[in-house]
Amino acid sequence: MKTYALVGTGGRSGLYIEAITGKYRHNAKFVAFCDTNQTRMDYANRQLEQSGIARVSTWKAADFSAMLDETKPDIVIVTSMDRTHDDYIVRALHAGCDVITEKPMTIDEQRALRILDAVDATGYQVRVAFNYRYAPHHSKIRELLQQETIGEVLSVHFEWLLNTEHGADYFRRWHREKRNSGGLLVHKSTHHFDLMNFWLNSTPEKVYAQGDLRFYGKENAEKRGVTQFYPRAHGYPQAQNDPFALHMEENAQLKALYLDAEHEDNYFRDQSVFSDGINIEDTLSVLVKYHNKVQLTYSLNAYLPWEGLNVVFNGTKGRIEMKIVEMSYVNAGGKRENEGSIEKAEITVYPLFAQPWKAQFQLGEGGHGGGDNAMLEDLFGERKDDPLKRAADHRAGAMSILTGIAGNLSMQHDKPIYFKDFELVKRLRQTK
């Protein structure tokens, strides 16, 4: 039986807690929780007790190394704030632990280099939890492209839509500060850039990006004629009729994880999306050229009426179009299986000089069209040979965030960014 310590007991940790206390309880167990906030760790322990499992020891973030020394987990699960990932990953590796980390693996090149150094020095492994790779519709695209269904892929157009529930949520919490999350090009788009690397079996050569904060934030709201503002939803009457407000007191899980925990760290989960202090973009466009000469046009908008994606692949023998509509959700604000659950999933193949046809695939149970459960089985269940090679290591984690990092640099300097200039890329090529 493998033993696990988990650092970061906020909303995303629930995916792993439910898995290890449920389906995988006979071959996996927790030995410790670590967080900056005792209230959240106590909530995680109550989840264990509700599953008939004894509470585990809890450790404040400052005692992370002591936790590793005393509890000696086989694997550390990292679900903390993005900018802290590298610190926990590196210390866990040097303590003799493998690591499972939530995406993004980290938020900038220097932090990624620290992780690469630690993997090289210790020989222990890092797995990045890219659940989108495991979603049946995304796996089907990989399969179709591997079979050269449309010949050689020449170009891709990929647009991701975040709606006014899930998309707005990035502007209520710590993600709204780029120093914490790297912005949406790193925090959210790491999924999409990883899918591109995964689908195309290639990596970027150069990136050019444009982006801005156009919808959220106080200044944008003022331009649209808004005159009433509030800093957060809880305790402010002005928030009662605002469809963008998050009322944590109405949701038992959000209340327990965040509202009841505020007295410890003053972290407000329900900040107004139209307040000051937001410095990430909500409107983004990216051009990417890959080593196999594929051209990608990519866009991300975080304030749209529906959530999901449109992606098209143009090839020498035809075209593939995929449209996915996902249900709205707020992280930790509902049932786990509703996160990213699918309302519509359709893949159409348009061959040259032949009739179009629908690709067949079976959505699975659980969040993200079954992607969550398939990934959890790969992480905690019986490992099986996977011809699609969906498991993602630190190399995949680094290459996915590097597209977003390059995009941030491109926006900052208004010029294309070449991957050959990254020290991280040079190191990855040396260790290939």
Using CA atoms, how far apart are residues 58 and 63, in angstroms rounded to an integer? 10
**What confidence tens digit (pLDDT) does each residue in 114-141 have?**
999 999 999 999 999 999 999 999 999 9
Using CA atoms, how far apart are residues 224 and 208, in angstroms rounded to an integer? 30
Task: Kindly tell me if the per-residue pLDDT of 332 is higher than 90.
Answer: no
Of the candidates 1, 412, 431, 410, the residue with the CA atom closest to the CA atom of residue 206: 410
CA atoms within 13 A on the CB side of 76: 31
Identify the pLDDT of residue 18.
96
Per-residue pLDDT band at 384 (split at 50, 70, 90): confident
Please list the alpha-helical segments (H only) found in 245-388.
252-257, 262-265, 371-380
Q: Check: CB of residue 369 under 8 Å from CB of residue 136.
A: yes
**What confidence tens digit (pLDDT) does each residue in 338-356 have?**
787 899 999 999 999 999 9
Using CA atoms, how far apart are residues 184 and 212, in angstroms rounded to an integer? 11
Using CA atoms, how far apart are residues 207 and 289, in angstroms rounded to an integer? 7
Of the candidates 201, 129, 119, 105, the residue with the CA atom closest to the CA atom of residue 397: 105
Task: Kindly tell me if the per-residue pLDDT of 335 is higher than 90.
Answer: no
Task: Kindly tell me if the per-residue pLDDT of 261 is higher than 60.
Answer: yes
Task: Report how far apart, in Å, the C-alpha atoms of 290 and of each of 118, 195, 197, 408 are.
Answer: 28, 13, 9, 18
Q: How many DSSP H helices and E strands does the chain contain?
A: 17, 15
The encoded tokens of residue 13 equal 């940790």
pTM of the model: 0.96
Residue range 43-65: average pLDDT? 97
**Is the bond preceding 104 in cis, omega lying within 30 degrees of 0?**
yes
Per-residue pLDDT band at 432 (split at 50, 70, 90): low
Using CA atoms, how far apart are residues 392 and 56, in angstroms rounded to an integer? 29
Identify the pLDDT of residue 338.
76
Q: Check: CB of residue 344 under 8 Å from CB of residue 323.
A: yes
- HEC secondary structure over 229-262: CCCECCCCHHHCCCCCCCCHHHCHHHHHHCHHHH
Per-residue pLDDT band at 193 (split at 50, 70, 90): very high
Domains of the chain, earliest start first: 2-130 (3.40.50.720), 132-216+278-370+387-431 (3.30.360.10), 218-264 (no CATH)
Question: End-to-end distance of the chain based on CA atoms, in angstroms?
Answer: 31
Task: Kindly tell me if the per-residue pLDDT of 20 is higher than 80.
Answer: yes
Residue range 265-292: average pLDDT? 97
The encoded tokens of residue 357 equal 């046809």
**What confidence tens digit (pLDDT) does each residue in 387-423 have?**
999 999 999 999 999 999 999 999 999 999 999 999 9
Identify the pLDDT of residue 334.
74
Identify the pLDDT of residue 339.
80
Task: Kindly tell me if the per-residue pLDDT of 30 is higher than 70.
Answer: yes
The encoded tokens of residue 82 equal 């993005």
Residue range 355-373: average pLDDT? 93
Identify the pLDDT of residue 5.
98
Residue range 249-257: average pLDDT? 96
On average, the pLDDT of the chain sits at 96
Residue 177 belongs to what H/E stretch?
none
Using CA atoms, how far apart are residues 160 and 324, in angstroms rounded to an integer? 10
Burial class (CB in 10 A: 0-12, 13-18, 19+), 44: buried
Q: Check: CB of residue 313 under 8 Å from CB of residue 167.
A: no
Percent of the chain with pLDDT over 70: 100
Residue type, 290: Y
Of the candidates 282, 283, 344, the residue with the CA atom closest to the CA atom of residue 310: 344
Identify the pLDDT of residue 328.
81
Percent of the chain with pLDDT over 90: 93
Identify the pLDDT of residue 425.
95
